[in-house]
Amino acid sequence: MQFTRDEPLELKGVPGLTRSKNFVGYISFALFATHVEGDAKRSKAVTLIQGFRNYLHYHIKASKSYLHMRMRSRVVSLLQVLNRAVPDKPLGEKGEGKKTMSGKTFTRR
């Protein structure tokens, strides 16, 4: 298996081959005579190549869900830090502020 951004030699010169803005590249599979010399081996090689697309899509989705889960947990932890950073309510009987050792009131401005 090989990934490349250039088209394989088998596709060079094919008319109507255009690249869209979502184009990423080509994946090429190399099959040798030993891979397809019997009916059972040929059937297995074809099945594996056909299943590669589903395999790739599964792993892309799994990676995306893992990243989203990590981002969500990070946001939750950051929100907890923000909630803990709320200033305390002023102490005192009438809410005038904190008292110093000499009895004066201290108010935040």
Give the tens place of pLDDT for each residue, 10-65.
888 888 887 888 888 899 999 999 999 999 999 999 999 999 999 999 999 999 99
Q: How many angstroms separate the CA atoms of 59 and 66, rounded?
A: 10
- What CA–CA distance (Å, rounded) separates 26 from 8? 8
Q: Is residue 69 very low, low, confident or very high in pLDDT (cuts 50, 70, 90)?
A: very high
Domain ranges of the chain: 2-85
- In terms of pLDDT, which residue wins out, 21 or 74? 74
CA neighbor of 24 nearest in space, from 12, 10, 7, 9: 7
- Does residue 98 register a pLDDT over 90? no
Is the pLDDT at 93 greater than 70, yes or no? Answer: no
**With a threshold of 0.75, does the pTM exceed it?**
no
Is the pLDDT at 89 greater than 70? The verdict is no
What does the CA dihedral 87, 88, 89, 91 come to, rounded to 10 degrees?
A: -130
Q: Give the per-residue pLDDT at 107.
A: 65
Selection from 8, 41, 52 nearest residue 26 by Cα? 8
| CB distance 35 to 45 below 8 Å | yes
Sign of the Cα pseudo-torsion (75, 77, 83, 86, in order): negative
2-11, 49-58, 84-93: the lowest-pLDDT one: 84-93
Whether residue 77 is predicted with pLDDT greater than 90 in this model: the reply is: yes
